[in-house]
Amino acid sequence: MDRNLENLEKKLGIKFKDKDLLRTALVHRSYINEHKDFALDQNERLEFLGDAVLELVVTMHLFNNYKDDEGVLTNWRSSLVNGDRLSEQSERLGVYDFMYLSRGEAKDNNPKARSYILANVFESIVGAIYLDQGYDPSKKFIEDNLLIHLPKIIEDKAYIDSKSMFQERAQEFIGVTPRYKVLAESGPDHNKKFIVGVYLEKELVAQGEGYSKQEAQSNAADEGLKVKKWSK
């Protein structure tokens, strides 16, 4: 783990006045369980704050720049601040290498668990920036790392999830509602992997893998859109 915070500050584009705020943002609760005498708290309170700041900044941006109705704006906001996107941004910034994790958590190769941790730490970093720098630097960080993706989300209709899009296309083009079936599952209960097929009547259109049935269904629908050339 890289604990040189200057390296992380460069990646974030923020120089913290209080370095302990940034450190706290990086402390996973599993680390505190192993290090009871650690001087700092875990990051969940900062995550709670960051979630609210994130939602406010994104909501104000949408409200000020788009005249669409509430339902559309809500979908766009959800696509911007969902766990997968926050995780991707944390991954891109290399935040995981700076985190305080328990030995077990650090060795866990479950991508779902890692993604969850990375999504949460993005929010805790936003909370830390807000406390250390105030609203405007927090807003700029969110603009630079999330809001820049909004035009492409709108253009690609990425705010519509794959399952909804596949069902909409299937009903529009062939008048059939897709169904999903688990084709295989493997691994221990705490890290089970599913393979799901998406069918149009008796035709197996595509398969998807995931660490939950929902994730596998979504991936199958995504593949189905490509197979049928019904892409977003």
From the candidates 47, 51, 132, 222, which is the catalytic residue? Answer: 51
Residue 159, C-beta contacts closer than 8 angstroms, at least 6 positions apart: 75, 76, 78, 79, 153
Among the listed residues 163, 159, 157, the one whose alpha carbon sits nearest the alpha carbon of residue 213: 163
Q: What is the DSSP letter of 147?
A: G
User: What span, in angstroms and rounded, lies between the C-alpha atoms of 17 and 224?
Assistant: 50
User: What span, in angstroms and rounded, lies between the C-alpha atoms of 96 and 118?
Assistant: 7
Q: In the annotation, is 136 catalytic?
A: no
Among the listed residues 50, 87, 75, 52, the one whose alpha carbon sits nearest the alpha carbon of residue 150: 75
From the candidates 88, 105, 123, 222, which is the catalytic residue? Answer: 123
For every residue of 64-101, DSSP letters joined together read HH----HHHHHHHHHHHHSHHHHHHHHHHHTGGGG-B-
Q: How far is CA 129 from CA 23, 74, 78, 81, 205, in A?
A: 11, 25, 22, 17, 46
User: What span, in angstroms and rounded, lies between the C-alpha atoms of 185 and 203?
Assistant: 21
Residue 32, C-beta contacts closer than 8 angstroms, at least 6 positions apart: 38, 41, 42
Q: In the annotation, is 51 catalytic?
A: yes
What tokens were used for 37? 């005498």
Q: Which residues are catalytic?
A: 51, 123
